[in-house]
Amino acid sequence: MEHLKIKFKKKRLLHYLIFGTFSILLGLSFFAFNIEPALLGYLHLTSGLFFTFQYTYDKKHHYLRIGNGVIHKHRLFGNKTVIKLDEITKIERTDAYYLIKSPTKNLKVDPKLIDKDSLLELILFLKSLDLPSNRNLFLESKPIIETHKLKHII
């Protein structure tokens, strides 16, 4: 099975890149113009490097990767969440998340962070899982998902 990559929204990635670049330039300006306290320059440099690194990480690793029988949720800090596809017992919706449950782990998926095309791919993939209709949010009396209707189920 080829890996399915669920990407972040481009707007989110762009915000990290712009904020990181701006913070780095601001931090460097503290040293170029001998602005005191220099500690603020270091703080801006540090935050700028963090946001730039976060952008690079998110761009490379994406939000989710599905393949080889597992779903990976990538995070820069903290544990990566991995759930085996054959262990998924239920998919439900909370106020803000899709919740993918297994006996040992729960995976929260925030649809507001996912690119529209990737979200459609994710929904179609989750809909195709072998779960009873009462345990799969996407099989519970939902009409066929079309791209232009995607905003109504998010």
| Cβ–Cβ under 8 Å, residues 4 and 125 | yes
- At 26 the pLDDT is 97
- Give the whole-angstrom CA distance, residue 30 versus residue 74: 34
- At 1 the pLDDT is 54
- At 141 the pLDDT is 53
- At 14 the pLDDT is 98
Query: What are the residues whose beta carbons fall under 8 Å from the beta carbon of 46, sequence distance 6 or more?
Result: 27
| Cβ–Cβ under 8 Å, residues 109 and 97 | yes
What averages of pLDDT result for each successive group of 10 residues across the chain (154 residues)? 90 98 97 94 97 97 96 89 96 94 96 96 94 88 49 46
Q: What is the pTM of this model?
A: 0.85
- At 144 the pLDDT is 45
- Give the whole-angstrom CA distance, residue 20 versus residue 18: 5
Q: Which of 78, 71, 59, 51 is nearest to 8 (CA)?
A: 59
CA-based end-to-end distance of the chain: 27
Starting at the edge strand found earlier in the chain, the sheet holding 98-101 runs 90-93, 98-101, 106-109
Q: Tell me the longest C-alpha to C-alpha distance in the chain.
A: 66
